[in-house]
Amino acid sequence: MKCLVTGAAGFLGSHLCERLLNEGREVVGVDNLYTGSERNLRGFSGNARFTFMKADVCDLKSEDLGAFDEIYNLACPASPVHYQARPLFTSLTSVKGILLCLELAKRDGSRLLHASTSEIYGDPLVHPQEELYWGNVNTIGIRSCYDEGKRMAETFVADYVRLYDVDARMVRIFNTYGPRMHPQDGRVVSNFIMQALKGEDITIYGDGSQTRSFQYCDDLIEAFVRYMAAPKARMREFFGKPGRPAVPVLNTGNPGEFTIEELAKMTLELLPESKSRLAYRPLPGDDPKKRKPDISLAKELLGWEPKVPLAEGLAKTIEYFRVAAFSHP
Ligand code: NAD
Ligand code: UDP
């Protein structure tokens, strides 16, 4: 079975490629290396079933690519620091990237998984967030390039499902962390671990009372694999029923909810030798106040729920950063 993974050299893309290769698939990974790194591919770049293609999804046309049984669309900077640094590129990547994948899936009858995000809920007024919630998103804020790009991508997927019966599935991923996050990624888990390892201030934005739900990467990849293994007929039977989304879309995340201050303290407890102290910095614009997934649908459809508690996942991530952080280019 042949798979295409866009965003292959990123944090999640590289874990996905590795899992697909371990299951005997042939994998073509596409990445422009904006936030990803070929270093993430080292463990399997020598595998004869893996091909890496350095390319931007905004420049590729469906004619440039052959046929795939499965397509996984992960290309998009995910850290606020990096998506806000290139906002036009971020929106365009979401839109052009999904159109490329949808055209391929339509042409060749491929099954498609699209990486959407909890950010489509914006600063949510419903808590926890379930898939039927439409969200609370600012169209003109500094996060909008990411949030609205991802929302537009969901709309394209839904319309290709309705118009062309494309076998597409979306996952709304809640904050996911783990080994192979870039040390300068800028997201909270990697920032806190790097700061604690270097003895620098732990930068809490705002008063640290905002919450997030943190999912370990292996749990997410397991959900991807189960979702893509389900037959198309099962998608038709499950979605579109009263009380469920009209097209295949699932939340994936760990429902454990922590304040950012709790995360900072937990990181320091796992690194008792650290000399770092908590330091409070201004809160960036439009920062969501709380976030927690309702994962009832994923449990029912896939028999899936996350297994790795935050303290265990953080400990594994710290072990990775101890080595990687100081040898990273
Ligand atoms: P990441 O930044 O590590 O990976 C994204 C990858 O996409 C990088 O390798 C980057 O170089 C590549 N990329 C970006 N724009 C591209 C383009 N135009 N053409 C080709 N490649 C491009 O981030 P990640 O955490 O691995 O996220 C992967 C996907 O999952 C993203 O779509 C992201 O929006 C989504 N997601 C992640 C999280 C999370 O918490 N990790 C949460 C919600 C959604
Ligand atoms: N954050 C923080 N310190 C940092 C980085 C992030 O306090 O060094 C906060 C950020 O303001 C947000 C939360 O941690 O409230 C999660 O931020 P991240 O960038 O990881 O992802 P988001 O969920 O905001 O997209």
DSSP designation for 293: B
The distance in angstroms from the start CA to the end CA of the chain is 34
In this prediction, what percent of the chain has a pLDDT beyond 70? 99
Mean pLDDT rounded to a whole number for the chain:
97
Mutation probe of ligand 1 site: the residue of 35, 101, 152, 250 with most atoms within 8 A of C-beta: 35
Q: List pocket residues of ligand 2, CB cut-off 6 Å.
A: 79-80, 175, 187-188, 191, 203-205, 210, 212, 260, 284, 287
Instruction: Provide the pLDDT confidence category of residue 299 given band limits of 50, 70 and 90.
Output: very high
CA-based nearest residue to 307, from 221, 219, 177: 219
pLDDT digit string, tens, across residues 105-157: 999 999 999 999 999 999 999 999 999 999 999 999 999 999 999 999 999 99
pLDDT, position 329: 57
pLDDT, position 325: 73
Which element (helix H / strand E) includes 170? Answer: strand 167-173
pLDDT, position 255: 98
Question: What distances in angstroms separate CA 137 from CA 19, 118, 134, 148, 177, one per listed residue?
Answer: 34, 11, 9, 8, 24
Domain ranges of the chain: 2-177+214-255+290-306
pLDDT, position 328: 60
CB 273 within 8 A of CB 236: no
User: Residue 61 Cα, ligand 2 centroid: separation in angstroms?
Assistant: 35
Mean local confidence (pLDDT), 284-313: 98
CB 213 within 8 A of CB 174: yes
pLDDT digit string, tens, across residues 46-81: 999 999 999 999 999 999 999 999 999 999 999 999
Pocket of ligand 1 contains residue 57 by CB under 6 Å: yes
pLDDT, position 104: 98
Q: Is 177 left (phi over 0), alpha (psi -120 to 50) or beta?
A: beta
Question: What distances in angstroms separate CA 191 from CA 127, 178, 224, 266, one per listed residue?
Answer: 26, 12, 26, 14
pLDDT digit string, tens, across residues 249-279: 999 999 999 999 999 999 999 999 999 999 9
Told to judge if 146 belongs to the known catalytic residues of this protein, a careful annotator would answer yes
DSSP designation for 282: P
Pocket of ligand 1 contains residue 56 by CB under 6 Å: yes
pLDDT, position 96: 98
DSSP designation for 308: -
Which element (helix H / strand E) includes 30? Answer: strand 26-31
In this prediction, what percent of the chain has a pLDDT beyond 90? 98
**Strand, helix or coil for residue 126:** coil
DSSP 225-269: HHHHHS-HHHHHHHTTSTTS-SS-EEEES----EEHHHHHHHHHH
Residue 284 has pLDDT above 70, yes or no: yes
- For domain 2-177+214-255+290-306, which architecture applies? 3-Layer(aba) Sandwich (3.40)
pTM: 0.98
Mean local confidence (pLDDT), 8-26: 98
Mean local confidence (pLDDT), 11-18: 98
Our measurement of the distance from residue 86's CA atom to the centroid of its chain's CA atoms, rounded to an integer in Å, reads 18
pLDDT, position 324: 80
CA-based nearest residue to 261, from 279, 276, 249: 279
Q: Round to whole Å and give the CA distance between 178 and 321.
A: 9
